[in-house]
Amino acid sequence: MRSTDSSGSSGGEGSTRVEGLHAGASLDLDIDTSPDLDADTSLNHGADTSLDLGADASPDHVADASLDHVADASPDHGADAVPGHGADAAPGRGVGESLDALLARVLVERDPESAFGWHDGRIEVMCREDKDASVRWALSRLDDPDPDVRWFTAVVVDEFSTAGMPCPDEARAVLAARLPVETNSDVLICLISAFAGYHDAGHLPEIQAHAGHPDPRVREWVAGVICWSMPEKIDLLTDFAQDPDPRVRATVLGVCRYAFDHPVTARFSAALRDDPDPEVRALALEVLARDGDAAAYQELRRLGDEAGEESQATKMADAVQIRLRD
């Protein structure tokens, strides 16, 4: 996830845009260990916003669903996967086929490691010349009874929400209607991301409505959107900072850590300095140590020593040391 200044955008002055939220992937709270920590106020997600259908996938999906795989485009690879497609199943082929036919190829094995794969299918949809037609097609499939169809088309809409936002009025209306009724967490995460993107801000009751979702992965993404886009929602952020799942607590504190002017950063850091989860505790201690708390620095250094010199805690302690020395 990354936050970008939206000055001059449809969101209005002071609004933020949340980009790169994708289903099935935890928020990556990688730490910038450069001496000038203030120079980077975004979470480290700008470089790659591709969907990671990882181990968090629902039981209907294969466990190993990484989209880092590059499909083999050789004519004999998967040529029999779909009768009548043969070599056209390779990425970039079959351009004249319908979007429904493309989707059918994607779903043949329901596995990104297949001859075609989800990643390549998404790219083919995104690269089609008529963006409006592609978005309208994806929106029309968001109520499909097959959760995999909904998931794939929600990914497409999410991608378009950060790539020009074609058909904005239609997309907003369909997404607003779908958000309250979606039951699959992977799909819902994509819909939340797309809805925030199409509105160029997160000031939306439709997103806040999922703040108490039973799946912590959904709460994690809602927390990220709200923390970036609605810093005035202190009560909601406080609830997330006290969430029983450490991923949610880490998300709120991680975003606050980078948003140095966030009004609750110091309070959350103080409250979470003894958190039972080492990642959350390290994030809190790093903020406090950066502000000159010597005891917090020593505790952060101890965590790093226990975890090893390549651990995030060690990297954060080293960065604090450089910052305070300079």
pLDDT of residue 207: 93
Distance, CA of 129 to CA of 92 (rounded, Å):
13
Which residues are CB-contacts of 283 (< 8 A; sequence separation ≥ 6)? 29, 250, 253, 254, 257, 269, 272, 316
Cα end-to-end distance, the chain, whole Å? 30
pLDDT of residue 116: 65
pLDDT of residue 110: 72
Q: What is the largest CA-CA distance in the chain?
A: 68
| Displacement of CA 170 from its chain's centroid (Å) | 23
Distance, CA of 157 to CA of 164 (rounded, Å):
11
Check: pTM over 0.75? Answer yes or no: no
pLDDT of residue 203: 67
pLDDT (tens, 9 = 90+) of the chain, 326 residues, equals 433 333 333 333 333 333 333 333 344 444 344 434 333 333 333 333 333 323 333 333 322 332 232 233 332 333 333 333 333 333 444 456 899 999 998 888 677 666 567 888 889 999 999 999 999 999 999 999 999 999 999 999 999 998 889 999 999 999 999 999 999 999 999 999 999 999 876 668 999 999 999 999 999 999 998 888 887 888 999 999 999 999 999 999 998 888 767 888 989 999 999 999 999 999 999 999 998 999 999 999 999 999 898 999 999 999 999 988 86
Q: Are 129 and 163 in contact (CB under 8 A)?
A: no
Distance, CA of 76 to CA of 90 (rounded, Å):
10
pLDDT of residue 32: 44
